[in-house]
């Protein structure tokens, strides 16, 4: 069973040779690092640094510690996912692990949420559109319609690249990642040049990094919102687990690439914060909604256009990598019979789940037209941490339920326990600190998902004419059922 080959064959009756339709393994360690880091390094570091500083009561030292702590949490969670991904060689990440460790109904809730309410991807692509249009609307903010149209155009372009094949998507991701790293490097270099010319702000911030007055006003509840923002910026450390079946030698590649990606992103986030603190005072940071803009005007002058370009590159790269990874969720769920069959099929030539990618694109277009997603992202953020916590705990459950599994990598037991407790804290604290009725809406949304699961999956009810629609779509997309053993 050579999984690395692009084409595999099976011998059937009368020596007839049939081609098997499977996902191709195109992602190695290098491209895996770029894909995982591409998902994590989005626009968050450019827009959320001031929120973290406010939650830390303007303490620069505590702010840096929070970003370092976020990187440590991401590494520990990555170690849990490395054991899961190397012992269960299926794509789908949390969906697959939750289905194996608990029940398929619980696992189904993840593709139900991410496929039909892709809040994170929508926010990322809208961020790109706003920054991309900003130079053309110097005297006023761009209209919402122009922002939405720009976002949809980018969405269609990135989706088309991914439908052409994984190789095209990976090559685009490599190009975007390198461009993004160059842009971030330009920001850091401009801060160094500014400090060489004038080090007064950097010295003042360094001397007051752990000021007693600022430390006395910090509480666990005030820090909870900052942890939320920081971990949202790190989100994506399990990106390669979504495409396990497309990774070369996953038992070696996923641990190496994932841990390297998280380490690189942690270094970038800490360095970017140091760059901000070397140029801006705490007052300038806290009074700006988008910290990167005053930084650019002060440190770069005429070259301040580099910052909007950096934000656009980060947003496009994060969205492109998100399509490459999260777009596999409806495909994996459909081939298990939990979504319509058409979404579990692969294109006969490119071996890409194109119907699943189109479904994700349509859902994102709907949310783009709704707009105003900030509260919805916060609402579903605590649900996301619920899944993260149960996925961490599934490491221990699967050790008991499936001791026969080969585990090339085994995480220390204390780490999944710690991650489950920490995830529970991330879920509970926002409910205590800032309760909102939309949390109950999220619970209602998942209740609807469970009802649909009971009707269409457990009871196996079918919509009238579904078979005919599947055949028409199969011809339209030129797709066929994949060869996959449950």
pLDDT tens-digit series, residues 461-484: 888 888 899 999 999 989 888 776
Report how far Cα 3 is from the mean position of its chain's Cα atoms.
26
Element (H, E) at 212: helix 212-216
Structural domain for 122, as ranges? 29-479
DSSP per-residue letters across 381-440: HHHHHHHHHHHHHHHHHHHHH-TTS--SS---THHHHHHHHHHHHHHHHHHHHS--HHHH
Stretch 104-116: mean pLDDT: 87
Phi, psi for 481 (deg, rounded to 5): -60, 140
Q: How far apart are alpha carbons 268 and 44 in whole angstroms?
A: 12
Rg (CA), the chain: 23
Task: Tell me the three state secondary structure of residue 324.
Answer: helix
pLDDT tens-digit series, residues 240-274: 998 888 888 898 999 999 999 999 999 999 998 89
Q: How far apart are alpha carbons 429 and 24 in whole angstroms?
A: 42
* 110 is a domain residue: yes
State how far the alpha carbon of 436 is from the alpha carbons of 182, 395, 450, 484, in Å. Answer: 40, 32, 23, 43
pLDDT given for residue 84 in this prediction:
94
Task: Tell me the three state secondary structure of residue 455.
Answer: helix
Q: How far apart are alpha carbons 50 and 371 in whole angstroms?
A: 23
Q: Which of 108-117, 281-290, 441-450, 467-476 has the highest mean pLDDT?
A: 467-476
* 17 is a domain residue: no
309 versus 248: the higher-pLDDT residue is: 248
424 Cβ partners below 8 Å, 6+ apart? 389
The DSSP secondary-structure symbol of 28 reads -
The DSSP secondary-structure symbol of 102 reads T
Angle between helices 354-370 and 144-164 (to 10 degrees): 170
The sign of the torsion formed by the CA atoms of 116, 120, 122, 125 equals negative
Q: How far apart are alpha carbons 318 and 320 in whole angstroms?
A: 6
* 8 is a domain residue: no
* 315 is a domain residue: yes
Residue 21 has pLDDT above 60, yes or no: yes
Place 61 in a pLDDT band, splitting at 50, 70 and 90: confident
Q: How far apart are alpha carbons 44 and 51 in whole angstroms?
A: 11
The sign of the torsion formed by the CA atoms of 152, 158, 161, 166 equals negative
Q: How wide is the angle at C-alpha 264 spanned by C-alphas 262 and 265, nearest 5°?
A: 65
**CB distance 335 to 344 below 8 Å:** yes
Residue 375 has pLDDT above 80, yes or no: no
Angle between helices 166-197 and 144-164 (to 10 degrees): 130
Place 421 in a pLDDT band, splitting at 50, 70 and 90: very high
* 433 is a domain residue: yes
Q: β-strand 17-20 against 345-347: which pairing, if any?
A: unpaired
Taking Cα atoms as reference points, which of 43, 46, 183, 48 lies closest to residue 121?
Answer: 43
374 versus 122: the higher-pLDDT residue is: 122
Which CATH number goes with the domain that contains 41?
1.20.1740.10
pLDDT tens-digit series, residues 147-161: 889 999 999 999 998
**CB distance 148 to 368 below 8 Å:** yes
| Cβ count near 3 (within 10 Å) | 16
pLDDT given for residue 374 in this prediction:
57
104 Cβ partners below 8 Å, 6+ apart? 336, 338, 457
Side-chain-side CA neighbours of residue 339 (13 Å) = 24
Task: Count up the domains in the chain and report the number.
Answer: 1
* 451 is a domain residue: yes
* 86 is a domain residue: yes
* 486 is a domain residue: no
Residue 381 has pLDDT above 70, yes or no: no
Q: How far apart are alpha carbons 35 and 121 in whole angstroms?
A: 15
């Amino acid at each position: 069973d050579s999984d690395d080959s692009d084409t595999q064959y099976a011998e059937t009756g009368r020596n007839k040779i049939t081609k098997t339709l499977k996902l191709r393994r195109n992602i190695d360690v290098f491209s895996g690092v770029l894909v995982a880091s591409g998902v994590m390094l989005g626009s968050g570091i450019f827009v959320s640094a001031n929120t973290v500083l406010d939650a830390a009561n303007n303490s620069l030292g505590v702010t840096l510690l929070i970003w370092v702590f976020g990187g440590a949490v991401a590494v520990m969670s990555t170690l849990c996912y490395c054991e899961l991904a190397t012992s269960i060689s299926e794509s789908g990440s949390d969906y697959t692990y939750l289905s194996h460790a608990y029940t398929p109904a619980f696992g189904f809730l993840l593709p139900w949420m991410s496929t039909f309410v892709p809040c994170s991807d929508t926010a990322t692509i809208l961020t790109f559109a706003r920054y991309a249009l900003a130079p053309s609307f110097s005297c006023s903010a761009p209209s919402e319609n122009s922002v939405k149209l720009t976002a949809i155009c980018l969405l269609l372009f990135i989706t088309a690249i991914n439908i052409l094949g994984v190789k095209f998507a990976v090559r685009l991701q490599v190009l975007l990642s390198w461009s993004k790293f160059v842009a971030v490097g330009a920001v850091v270099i401009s801060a160094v040049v500014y400090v060489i010319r004038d080090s007064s702000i950097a010295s003042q911030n360094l001397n007051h990094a752990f000021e007693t007055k600022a430390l006395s006003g910090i509480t666990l509840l005030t820090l909870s919102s900052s942890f939320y923002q920081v971990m949202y910026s790190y989100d994506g450390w399990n990106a390669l687990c979504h495409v396990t079946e497309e990774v070369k030698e996953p038992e070696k590649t996923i641990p190496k690439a994932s841990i390297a990606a998280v380490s690189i992103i942690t270094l970038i986030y800490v360095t970017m914060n140091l760059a901000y603190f070397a140029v801006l005072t705490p007052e300038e940071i806290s009074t700006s909604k988008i910290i990167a803009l005053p930084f650019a005007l002060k440190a770069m002058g005429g070259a301040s256009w580099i910052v909007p370009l950096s934000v656009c590159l980060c947003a496009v790269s994060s969205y492109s990598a998100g399509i490459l990874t999260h777009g596999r969720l409806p495909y994996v769920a459909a081939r298990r019979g939990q979504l319509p069959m058409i979404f579990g099929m692969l294109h006969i030539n490119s071996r890409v789940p194109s119907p699943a990618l189109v479904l994700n694109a349509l859902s994102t277009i709907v949310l783009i037209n709704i707009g105003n997603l900030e509260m919805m992202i916060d609402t579903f953020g605590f649900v996301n941490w619920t899944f993260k916590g149960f996925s961490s705990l599934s490491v221990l459950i699967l050790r008991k339920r499936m001791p026969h599994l080969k585990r090339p990598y085994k995480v220390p037991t204390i780490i999944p326990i710690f991650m489950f407790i920490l995830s529970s804290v991330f879920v509970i604290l926002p409910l205590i600190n800032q309760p909102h009725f939309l949390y109950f809406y999220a619970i209602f949304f998942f209740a609807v998902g469970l009802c649909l699961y009971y009707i269409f999956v457990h009871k196996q009810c079918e919509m009238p004419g579904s078979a005919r629609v599947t055949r028409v779509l199969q011809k339209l997309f030129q797709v066929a059922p994949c060869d996959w053993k449950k």
